[in-house]
Amino acid sequence: MKKRLIAALFAAGLSTQVHAEEASCLTVRSADMGWTDIALTTNTASFLLKAMGYQMNNTLLGLNVAYESLKTNQIDVFLGNWRPAQDTEFKDYFDKHWVDVINVNLTGAKYTLAVPSYVADGGVHSFDDLAKFPDKFDKKIYGIEPGTNQPLLDMVAAGRHSLKDWQVVESSEQGMLAQVKRSVARNEWIVFLGWQPHPMNLDLKMTYLSGGDVEFGPDFGGSTVRTLSRVGYAAACPNVAHLFKNLVFDVDYENQGMRMITGDGMEADAAAKALLKAHPDKLAAWLDGVSTADGKPALDAVRAALAQ
């Protein structure tokens, strides 16, 4: 009888503790760059959290604004800290502890300049080769959203690789890829910002350029992607933070999901759910030690949501 009483009191106390904690953490505010990979991973987290009794509000922000919003507690999490591409520009945010690092959510990524393979066949294999063909490229390098292309802007400003008078064309991921597809259809030369995971690696015959170690790091911009949070978020919302610590993706998984979005025309939330249904094996690891907002096993709740 005494043991049952102690167990009941403990359970009641735990329930009260979870309820009090989750009341301030039920809404998770995240930043979305408009990048297909971050849209996929963020919407994956959003589906899991909704099944667990939370709400995730995703706001489309520029990269600079996302970091500043983490610093000023305007958003809670950001799943798109590409390293080393963001290391220099946002160094102070880490050195001065303006943001917290939750985990590495992807390894095996890459991020650097690329060309269609027929351009590589024409003699362009490195950053230094670009300056040999200024007229072919119209002295233009195609990037993505403003605030994301700083390594390229710094490269041109410094005149590295003899590219002093070249132009970095900033638009968006979709705008850049549309330009690449137009150029490929006409067999025209173009150099653009490429990365993996992304279905461009499946849909285009492309070659990554060597020699960009200063701009993007060694091994063709070999990268990892980290999940960041505002300072103190893990302590304030440990259950949600535990989910984000567990949430680790792989290149093949993201390539599949991103192709659903860019190739099949699926919305990011629908692609995220479809991919979860196709890979139920990942759920046990992602939801290990994670509960719903009311303290029940998260795995059961997510499985039930996927079955609907």
CATH number at residue 216: 3.40.190.100
Among 169, 194, 222, where does a domain finish?
222
Say whether both 114 and 245 belong to one domain: no
Average pLDDT over all residues of the chain: 91
On whether the CB atoms of residues 169 and 143 are closer than 8 A, the answer is yes
Burial 156-188 (b: 16+ CB within 10 A, else e): beeebbebeebebbbbbbeebbebbeebbeeeb
User: Can you tell me the mean pLDDT for 70-99?
Assistant: 95
pLDDT band at 22 (very low <50, low <70, confident <90, very high): low
**pLDDT tens-digit series, residues 185-199:** 999 999 999 999 998
* pLDDT at res. 7: 41
* pLDDT at res. 19: 38
Q: Residue with structure tokens 């990979």?
A: 37
User: Can you tell me the mean pLDDT for 105-123?
Assistant: 96
* pLDDT at res. 103: 97
Among 222, 257, 287, where does a domain finish?
222
**φ/ψ bin of 186: left (φ > 0), alpha (ψ from -120 to 50), beta (otherwise):** alpha
**pLDDT tens-digit series, residues 264-302:** 899 999 999 999 999 999 999 999 999 999 999 999 999
Say whether both 87 and 12 belong to one domain: yes
**pLDDT tens-digit series, residues 139-192:** 999 999 998 899 999 999 999 999 999 999 999 999 999 999 999 999 999 999
Domain count, the chain: 2
Name the residue range of residue 206's domain. 110-222
How far CA 135 is from CA of 28, 140, 178, in Å, comes to 49, 10, 21
Among 222, 256, 287, where does a domain finish?
222
**pLDDT tens-digit series, residues 25-59:** 999 999 998 889 999 999 999 999 999 999 999 99
Say whether both 265 and 202 belong to one domain: no
Q: Beta partners for 207?
A: 115
Say whether both 57 and 116 belong to one domain: no
